[in-house]
Structure 1
């Protein structure tokens, strides 16, 4: 299993709106892709803004390519991101999941 991590920051007043938008775009699109196994969204206050982290879980790298394209290290952004004054990471990180134990 592969975990894909993407992060962005936005002003506090856009936090809830952007999280809802993230569900309608990135989470919806990934969940419709073969090999998608799940997602988590984390948020925290950071330097007067909000940092939002999206983790998605995938069967393998080929499944990620079906979603992200050939260069899986480049973040997939959406047209209305700037509405939320988003400062997105342009790159994503991938991790091999060695332990997956849920309480």
Structure 2
């Protein structure tokens, strides 16, 4: 059965360039792999700048209830990974939860 996503959850964080590759691998193992198993889809993005590297993770969910079943009690709260404090320039204070209104085209 195909389930259509109605929710996008977006997390953003940034590291120093010298930590970027290590953090990307760590984030995948500890943060992204569990998302892949439970969400409808995950996309990760990286932007390397001279003084910092930005990471963005977008995951898609059927509804708030399915997202809450994965994240715990509050799906809109930031859930930091155990070593985020070592790698991130600052711990993100919020995530974005967006309601999907329309979808145009296809993306792989």
TM value normalised by structure 1: 0.85
How many residues of Structure 1 are paired with residues of Structure 2 in the alignment?
A: 101
**Correspondence 1:82 to 2:96:** no
Moved over 6 A (4+): none
The match for 1:99 is 103
- Where structure 2 has 5 or more consecutive residues not aligned to the other structure, the ranges are none
The match for 1:30 is 35
Following superposition, the deviation at residue 93 of structure 1 comes to: 0.6
The structure richer in strand per residue is 1
TM value normalised by structure 2: 0.81
Once superposed, what is the RMSD of the aligned Cα atoms?
1.8
SS in 2 for 1:7: strand
- Where structure 1 has 5 or more consecutive residues not aligned to the other structure, the ranges are none
Larger radius of gyration: 2
The one-character-per-residue Cα deviations of 1:30-84 (angstroms, maximum 9, x if unpaired) are 2232xx1111111113471111111111111111101112221111111111232
